[in-house]
Amino acid sequence: MGAFASAGAFAQEEGQPEVPAGPTPQEVAAENMDQLLDLVKQGRARAAQDNSAREQRFAQDKANQAAELRRAEKERADEEARSARLEKQFEENELLIARKQEQLKERLGTLSELFGHLTAASGDLASNIDVSLVSAQYPGRQQFLKDLIAKMSGTDQLPSVQELEKVWYEMLREISESGNIAKFTAEVATPAGELSNREVVRVGAFNVIDTDGNYLAYENEKLSELPRQPGGAFTAQAAELANATSGLHQFGVDPTGPTGGSFLAAIIDSPTLEERWHQGGYVGYAITAVGAFAFLLAIYRLIVLTVVGGKVSAQLKADKANENNPLGRVLKLHEDNPSMDPETLELKMAEGVLKETPKLESGLTLLKIIAAVAPLMGLLGTVTGMIITFQAITIFGAGDPKAMAGGISGALVTTVLGLLVAIPTVLLHTVVNGRAQRVIHVLNEQATGIVAEHAEAEHSK
């Protein structure tokens, strides 16, 4: 019986109000079939009541959704109508703008061409001012020109007379300042990145220097000291000009300054004599050492021969032989053997001259060898340098002529060094050899004269 009671039970939905109809069929125990039938009827009535309430709720939700749908459809229709009105208004505005632009163009007339030229001129002037050295003294000038260009690029604004006059003034000031030399205080960055206020001198629109003669670079509206200054007398001339108050002064002006200073950069990048000497490498160092040795040897031999020549000259005036010079030692042979026959005396004197000759000609052969070897060493350095250059071309290609030219230039340094050693060495060899031959000539002359006098004395007996 309890099982039948469970089968006829209907649970209420969650959240629904409880129907006050007494206990549920599950709560009542049927005692007979009639009671069970009544319980089933009661359960069916209760379920029918719940279903009816649920259907009412569904109907109400359907009505609400239909109302929302009608409202959304009405809103869409309103928006479509509004979109159509806006599209029509947009088309009308486009036609109006076109008529207004045509009207503006007609009223401007030839002024439109004038404003076009003004825009182009302002753009060119702004570009020049961006890199002009005059802006280091008068910063911020280009901003006005850029704002004016942006203003004239639109179609609803026109430049004023004051703006036109200011463009004309800036153009004239740029031209005028390009020919002036001005001194002012500015912030300068050192190669280490430190900032300091210095007095600088602007030479037209070409170069800027400080009072110490250092050339400055202008980039991104900032002044900075060049990491490497030009060699020669350029810095001295710059310092003289920077500290001058009047008069004419020599100064190295770079006419390409506003466009990057290519001439000044070329001078700065040019290697000094010391750097060129280092380009010769080990062969260049060897040539330099050989040249220094040849120079010292030539000077030493020149001093020795000068001293010997002085002693020989003194011996020519003396009546007695002095052994402190070659001529005295040759004459001593005759003094020691006054009774020697002419043939033997001639041989003795020739022997004495031959003995003195190597001492007088000492170092001459070595100077001659150095003069001949130095160009060969230079050629050796050039050949090895060219080999290295062509190896680099093989690896990296010949796309950079500057790098290739630099390698060839470095290779030719050794040839120059070899010639610089050979030419002076040849000249020094000539001078030293002349001094030595002069002394040897005196020795031969005196020896021959003594032999002739001795032979004449023998024949007269």
Residue 2 has pLDDT above 50, yes or no: no
The answer for residues whose C-beta is within 8 angstroms of residue 444's C-beta and 6 or more apart is 353
Determine the pLDDT at residue 388: 79
Averaged pLDDT score across all residues of the chain: 81
* Start-to-end Cα distance in the chain: 195
pLDDT tens string 52-90: 888 888 888 888 998 899 999 999 999 999 999 999 999
**What is the rounded distance in angstroms from the CA atom of residue 388 to the CA atom of residue 375?**
20
* Burial label, 129 (beta-carbon count in 10 A; 0-12, 13-18, 19+): buried
Q: Which amino acid is at 24?
A: T
**What is the rounded distance in angstroms from the CA atom of residue 355 to the CA atom of residue 326?**
9
pLDDT tens string 239-267: 888 888 888 888 877 777 655 566 677 67
Q: Is 31 helix (H, G, I), strand (E, B) or coil?
A: coil
- The b/e string for 174-192 (b: 16+ C-beta within 10 A; e otherwise) is beebeeeebeeebebeeee
> Tokens 């001012």 sit at which residue?
129
Both tokens of residue 195? Answer: 């900032």
Both tokens of residue 92? Answer: 């009308």
DSSP 160: -
Q: Which of 262, 265, 134 is nearest to 200 (CA)?
A: 134
Q: Is 189 helix (H, G, I), strand (E, B) or coil?
A: strand
For residue 28, is it left (φ>0), alpha (ψ between -120 and 50) or beta?
Answer: beta
Give the total residue count for the chain. Answer: 461
* Percentage of the residues of the chain whose pLDDT score is greater than 90: 18
Query: Does 394 or 137 have the greater pLDDT score?
Result: 137
Q: How big, in percent rounded to 5, are the helix, strand and coil portions of the chain? A: 70, 5, 20
Q: pTM for the whole thing?
A: 0.54
